[in-house]
Structure 1
């Protein structure tokens, strides 16, 4: 297994180099699925062009340019979970803090150097994962995690999300691990993908300025309605 501390992506890396580093990251993540550095590096290896396109989109608006300039962060050292949990129930800050407490997990953190806006967008995508669970309402069970990947694929076109869906769904469709039938599982993924595609680009939203805003208000503003299951 590769040493995660020695893995890095050179500037202007070729496709073959990105694939090689991505493969090495997968080897680490197989044994350390929560390794933040390899998780972010994997995203950048597979989604470099996608992140570059997202940077161009953000540069077209004043709010997007402000985000790229200020680079707000949702990393662990930036979040005071105790203070957020004291906010009124239903607010984004309170519900995010409760999400971490209830799931017994910690906020995202990384030591990777941000050399440019593309690196920042890769980091931003990773650190909004848990917040997106709260915003969309998708659960943290196996199916909920796959729904969130499908949502991100529809909203941003993230290739890593497509890879995770293909890799994970192959095993889920072969057995009962998902807890739902095959047709229902596929319908839920398809609905999540279309919901993400119809929703506002979440990566350009400054969540840090809305801790006191009700989740319901933000959901109505940012997310398309969830498709009803028959």
Structure 2
């Protein structure tokens, strides 16, 4: 391919990310897909900054975490992730098929019948243990391009698979560690911003995050295959160990076990102090 053709092709790829439609809150254009809310640049900046601040103090606001992710992913980062899918044969199939991850599409009872150690069985075991459902992910609203909106939706709906793949639990410490991995792997700004929540952790949790889980997350996120290109629906019967090896992810230290051991040690120490106090 000659240089002029390459230049024109590269320009066409960049134009969607650089083009900003000129409108105001009073002249808002029609939505590009069901549920879409077009935002002006000031609205997008305010949504991104405001949601990030609130989520720092209240990380349980999943709706604002989702809004922050969408507001800060435009104009560059979501297009970068979409292009990463276009460069990968499996990613292109995902974009073409546009599968959704729900309790209906996955047939959860069938996953419970899969052999232990398979991706599907690990996933459903993790869902059952943590008491979560794949149906709780918010719909994308603030990304203008329909294809990029699907990419964000796909990333969002795959989040629980990342938990199952890494074994990280749904506690603040586990979520911060997983967001660090996602940032290194996807470069979505919201995941990087979420790492700041490490400052709100307790002392021993903060030490583990900085000393163990952040180094693991950055190393594995950078070196692993981009997880957005995993067609999870086709990997349900795959050995989870084989999948980890194929995409280049090593398991982090068992956070659940570590936390349980520390709680048990503190409980034993407290009981011993109380026993000495009664002597």
TM bucket normalised to smaller: 0.7 to 0.9
Deviation at 1:66, TM superposition (A): 1.7
CA distance in 1, matches of 2:59, 2:177: 24
1:129 matched to 2:172 = no
Indicate which of 182, 195, 209 corresponds to 1:185: 209
Partner residue in 1 for 2:5: none
1:144 matched to 2:185 = no
Contact 1:55–1:121, Cα closer than 8 Å, also in 2: yes
CA distance in 2, matches of 1:46, 1:149: 15
Deviation at 1:125, TM superposition (A): 1.2
Contact 1:9–1:45, Cα closer than 8 Å, also in 2: no
SS at match of 2:205: coil
5+ long unaligned stretches in structure 1: 1-6
CA distance in 2, matches of 1:59, 1:181: 38
Deviation at 1:32, TM superposition (A): 6.0
- For normalisation by structure 2, the TM-score amounts to 0.67
Partner residue in 2 for 1:87: 114
Deviation at 1:79, TM superposition (A): 2.5
Deviation at 1:53, TM superposition (A): 0.8
Contact 2:185–2:222, Cα closer than 8 Å, also in 1: yes
CA distance in 1, matches of 2:60, 2:252: 34
CA distance in 1, matches of 2:60, 2:217: 27
Indicate which of 194, 199, 224 corresponds to 1:170: 199
CA distance in 2, matches of 1:213, 1:62: 19
Bigger helix share: 2
CA distance in 2, matches of 1:181, 1:54: 30
Partner residue in 2 for 1:157: 187
1:118 matched to 2:142 = no
Q: Deviations over 1:35-58 (max 9, x none)?
A: 4xx543321111122111111122
Partner residue in 1 for 2:250: 225
List, as ranges, runs of 4+ consecutive aligned residues in structure 1 with deviation greater than 6 Å.
none
Deviation at 1:111, TM superposition (A): 4.2
1:19 matched to 2:49 = no
Deviation at 1:24, TM superposition (A): 5.5
Larger Rg computed on CA atoms: 2
- For normalisation by structure 1, the TM-score amounts to 0.80
Q: Deviations over 1:184-230 (max 9, x none)?
A: 320221221121111100001101001111111111111333578xx
Deviation at 1:180, TM superposition (A): 3.4
